[in-house]
Amino acid sequence: MNRKAIGFFSLLLAFGIAIPAVAEEEPVDVGDEAPDFVLIKKSREVKQDINLLEFAEDQPVVLFFYPSDFTPGCTLEMQTLQEKKEEFDELGVEIFGVSMNDERSHERFCDQLELEFPLIADTDLSIAAAYGVKRTRGPMSYAARATFLVYVDGTIAWLNRDFNADPRAGHYDDLIDAIKELDSWDEEDEGEGDDEAQSGEF
């Protein structure tokens, strides 16, 4: 999407102009394997591309899909995530924003809001489509505001396809509660392993 289209789209979001949005792909669900993609691109600091499922083996990952940089709702969402980043860090979770904007736009957005987490440039909306959150509204396509928690086994542990950027809606708290519940998953897995060891023949 070119800059004029993004600018026009931003005005629609800002003024709440209603144009029906159309979903284009089947959505993934809790328990499904998370669609894989290049999460971190090769750079001077990174020797090779790192895919989501490879990265998530070491810690859970949260993907925050949002429509566009610099719009009011998306600005509020990113500011709130930054405020809560320390809490995510303490829980051992990495967070990433995902939108249709290019890397240059993301750099300016990060600088303006002083964000300390990465924003992924999904310029062709292929990632949004894979997660079933690509939307088309008139001549414009974008990622719906949605959030996915990817567990270390590569499956989707929690999701919200209608994530509300306003903290008063409680969706950030719902996500944090879901992350805390992952600890009980680990304990159950360890317990099953202990049972199998005790019942095995030596």
* Average pLDDT over the chain, rounded to an integer: 85
70 three-state secondary structure: coil
> Residue 166 falls within a domain, yes or no?
yes
Looking at residue 185, what is its pLDDT? 56
Give 87-93 contacts, CB < 8 A, sequence gap 24+.
87/176, 88/62, 88/176, 88/179, 91/176, 91/179, 91/180, 92/59, 92/60, 93/59, 93/60, 93/61, 93/62, 93/149, 93/179
Looking at residue 202, what is its pLDDT? 26
Give 129's pLDDT tier (boundaries 50, 70, 90). very high
Instruction: Identify the domain containing residue 95 by its residue range.
Output: 22-187
Give 11's pLDDT tier (boundaries 50, 70, 90). low
Active site residue 74: yes
How many domains, in total, are found in the chain? 1
> Residue 73 falls within a domain, yes or no?
yes
Give 17's pLDDT tier (boundaries 50, 70, 90). very low
> Residue 196 falls within a domain, yes or no?
no
Q: Is 70 exceeded by the pLDDT of residue 181?
A: yes
Give 59's pLDDT tier (boundaries 50, 70, 90). very high
- Residue 145, domain CATH: 3.40.30.10
Looking at residue 79, what is its pLDDT? 98
Considering 53, 56, 74, 178, which one is annotated as catalytic? 74
> Residue 193 falls within a domain, yes or no?
no
Q: Is 60 exceeded by the pLDDT of residue 9?
A: no
Q: Is 50 exceeded by the pLDDT of residue 197?
A: no
> Residue 11 falls within a domain, yes or no?
no
> Residue 198 falls within a domain, yes or no?
no
